[in-house]
A and B are shown apart, each in its own frame.
Chain A
Amino acid sequence: MPSIGEDLRTFLLADSDISTAVGAGRVYQNEAVENYVGTFIWYARTDTEPLQTLDESAGTRPWTEWVDLECISESIDEAIDLGDLIRTKHATRGTFGAGTVSGLFINSQSDSYVPRGDASDDGLNVCAFAVQLVGYNGS
């Protein structure tokens, strides 16, 4: 069964505008690339929240999961354009990769957010989001 990270990658690349913008499937989970060119997406799951019911079974999948997602490019315009494509996914529900999601919400990152996928000293442009996934069900 794909992980939520794999389903997020599949979901993003299923959008032809996003896959064209990043090219060659450059959507990376939890690791920054080396010797990159052009534009890419970096993401990592950062938090989970259970429903916290009194009869919750051990091992129940969290109800809400948070993902930091960064659109990174040498070009500020391409980073912003890719960010706008990501924003179009706000309020998605239904098919999500091989699974389903009750709701996907694209939120801005806080002012204090420090990007982690940009190799820091390369002076790249980053458009960062906190993606909230609610009710994710893997296949």
Chain B
Amino acid sequence: MADARLGLGTLVKYDHDNDASYTTIGEISAVDPPPREYEAVDATDLADTLAVNLQGQEMNSIWSFTQIWTDGDTVHEYIDSGFDGKHNYSWQLVLAADSGGGAARTWQFTSRIMGIGPETIDAASVCSRVITLQRTSDITRS
């Protein structure tokens, strides 16, 4: 078997009070990590036979996660207060250890909460919501 990393064990954490200690947001069912992409700067001149794009600045990006949602839960309320206050929290995405024994990896970056989207509430399903965030810094990976 090739060494590979499974989603089970992935953690999403945030520093809601800017004290460099991170709180894990539990019961997350899925996360779409922040993509990394440079702005493409057109540098094609008349002598080129193929369009030329230069790498511009790294663009900010949208990421999101889906959580089982308990309105009133202390940790969940930090997200709501972060949205209300437009706070720029520091976040961590901790990827679980891989199948070959490789260590867990941590992505750290700041983000603002751009959206809180409760999903349809029906009788037989757990309440959940999608949190959408705008990345506001580079990603430090370690």
Q: Does B1 contact A (CB under 8 A)?
A: yes
Asked if A26 CB lies within 8 Å of chain B CBs, one says no
Fill in one digit per residue for B89-110: 1 if any A CB lies within 8 Å of its CB, else 0: 0000000101111000000000
Chain A residues, CB < 8 A from B96: 93, 102
The size class of the interface chain B forms with chain A is 10 to 19
Q: Binding site of B, secondary structure by majority: helix, strand, loop or mixed? A: loop
Closest residue on chain A to residue B100 by CB atoms: A137
Beta-carbon contact of A51 and B8 below 8 Å: no
Complex Cα gap A62–B4 (Å): 11
Tell me whether A102 and B8 are in contact (CB under 8 A): yes
Chain A interface main SS type: loop
In the complex, chain A residues whose CB is within 8 Å of the CB of B4:
51, 63, 102, 135
Min Cβ gap B8→A in Å is 4
Task: Answer whether residue A100 sits at the interface, using C-beta atoms and an 8 A cutoff.
Answer: yes
Q: Which residue of B lies closest to A105 (CB)?
A: B8
B99 partner residues in chain A, CB cutoff 8 A: 100, 102, 135, 137
Interface positions of B (Cβ within 8 A of A): 1-2, 4-6, 8-9, 96, 98-101
